Amino acid sequence: MGRRKTAYSCLPEHILRLSELTKGANQEATPSPLKKGSLQLRSLVFKNTHLSPEQVFQASIKDCSALGHVWLNSANSLTTGLEPAHKDPPDHRGSDHNLCDSTTFWDWLRNVQEELPTCTKILTPFNQSASSADTNRSPQTNGSSIKPPGAAAPVGCMGYLGYELLSESMVHYKLPCRSSANVPDAEMGFCNTALSYHHASSTWTASALVASSARTESLSEKNLHHHFALSVGLSEAEYQHWSRKTGEIFDLTKKQDQHCDPIAVLELQRSSHSQPTRTSRTLEPSVSESVYLEAITKAQGQITSGESYELCLTTQFKGQLASTDQEDEHFGRYVGLWPANPAPYGAYVRFSPHDTTILSSSPARFLRVDGRGPVETEPIKGTARQVLGDAEAIRAAGSALQADPKERAKNLMITDLIRHDLHSFCVPGTARVARLFGIKTVATVHRLVSTVQGTHRPSLNSVDALALPCPPNSMMGAPKLSSIEILDQLERHHPRGPYSGILGFIAVDGSADMSVTIRTAVIQNNGQCSHPSSASLTRFVILTEISVAAGGAITSLLRKEDSPV
């Protein structure tokens, strides 16, 4: 007898809805009576091969807002198959806004993401009316504006969501009492403007969210104002000023006068700030080596008992930095870090309200969400060093990593766990492993990477897609809930903070791209002291705390001498 194969997608819609997770999702999507267009996403495109991303960031974004700035950076020249690097500036105005205790961070993000697409119309320089076309093409570009290579730059929410937010994303998890952490669990800034660089075409896209001058404020906009405690979108005058200043940066025909050339000015700034103050203080682990090795033994005991299959045990290393110009020296540290440790998902994040700075060289993507539905994640488990300068040895090291039973087992376990997570918010039948045990090679290492893809359900938005599998499975273990509870005990309830969380953007067009926050330093102001540098001058020295966390997957096959830390 033959068997009939029935796809889940063939089931009636009312049956499919019974299996959907309802937390934070509108099961019955009612059409909005509001018309799009009260907010417009406008884009300028510039062709310029003479400016580096660092130069553009310093000239157009850095120090423009008292609230901070974000630079999402990608070393795609060293890594295959990567998205373009993004340079993401915050709005020049804004406010520091804390949520009430009854509102979860995920609920706030979800509400914002539901309202923004309702009242936003996405425009390009090629589909606007003649009266508005000039506002999207700077008169100083002299033909440098070309057809966009892709979508608008990611205007929207940018920042990090820390590990401790799992208490809000996991229904059955109860956050235990933890030691205090100075760094907030999450910080997100809404950016009305953004710049994005397309490496392949050497093209910049500058996008801005603009409030229509002839609009009647809709219910969605009123809700947005409530969520943000301020108006969303630039005024027409602000947009004109921003587009003119942005055009000046990319204008190659402008007179090269050091007093008026922003690039010459930023080069002087870079030369004076790119060498941070050195400190002889070392980073100290939060636990001793013996305690950490004992935790590995206990973790393997839990695995042997069947409580978990794999546990990602981590620890923090902390120290102090002494500097005389905190902000510029932190940026200098990131600029110095990048050539030595380029990464697919690097980031420099500075938020002033809590004096938080993040320097990240993450190799791992958490989740990419296309506004039209497709989602993709790339779990990494398994790393091997390259033998630089020896092509045959490089190939051999990659092949050995791909064939290693222990590394394959770790990768397979996390990949299957992530695939299961995608089933919870994807259209039935679409979640699949597109690639298993692939090798990605970056500057100094090989990594064992798998790719899982799917299509999220129309009743859910990008925030739902991020919240349901968060925090990253690769930073916890399998099964998820019991592994987290075991790790709480083994790590002595020390908060992980931004480490092990996610970092990136959630754009107004419904797209999102988040990395796993690993290979990351978190810096926070810890007070300041002063000492006289001369008889007539007192110089202030700012003391900041730096934290770098590390860890790795514990399995029954792990030997203590091969422990990840």
In this predicted structure, which of 61-75, 82-96, 372-386 has the lowest mean pLDDT? 82-96
Beta strands in 270-364 (DSSP E): 284-285, 310-323, 345-351, 356-362
Q: Residues 521-564: pLDDT tens digits?
A: 999 875 555 454 444 445 556 678 899 999 989 988 887 666 55
List all residues 6 or more positions away from 492 whose beta carbon is below 8 Å from its beta carbon: 287
pLDDT score at 30: 39
Reference 218, options 121, 77, 129, 313; nearest CA is 121
Higher confidence at residue 540 or residue 462? 462
Give counts: helices (H), strands (E), the chain.
Answer: 14, 22
Ranges of each domain in the chain: 35-373+458-562
Give CA–CA dist 543/281, Å, rounded: 12
Contact 532, 539 (CB under 8 A): yes
Summarize pLDDT for 263-314 with one digit per residue, the tens: 554 454 445 444 555 544 689 999 999 999 999 999 999 999 999 999 999 9
* Contact predicate 517/529, CB 8 Å: no
Per-residue model confidence (pLDDT) at position 543: 74
| Residue range 210-261, pLDDT digits in tens | 997 765 555 555 665 555 555 688 999 999 999 998 888 887 544 444 444 5
Q: Decide: 497 and 163 in contact? Cβ < 8 Å.
A: yes
pLDDT score for 176:
72
The per-residue pLDDT for 347 is 94
CATH of domain 35-373+458-562: 3.60.120.10
- Measured in degrees and rounded to the nearest 5, phi and psi for residue 231 equal -70, 150
Mean pLDDT score, 313-337:
83
| Amino acid 7: pLDDT | 39
From CA 361, how far away is CA 443, in angstroms rounded?
12
pLDDT for residue 128: 32
**Mean pLDDT of the chain, nearest integer:** 77
pLDDT at 51: 82
| Of 362, 370, 369, 367, nearest in space to 378 by CA | 367
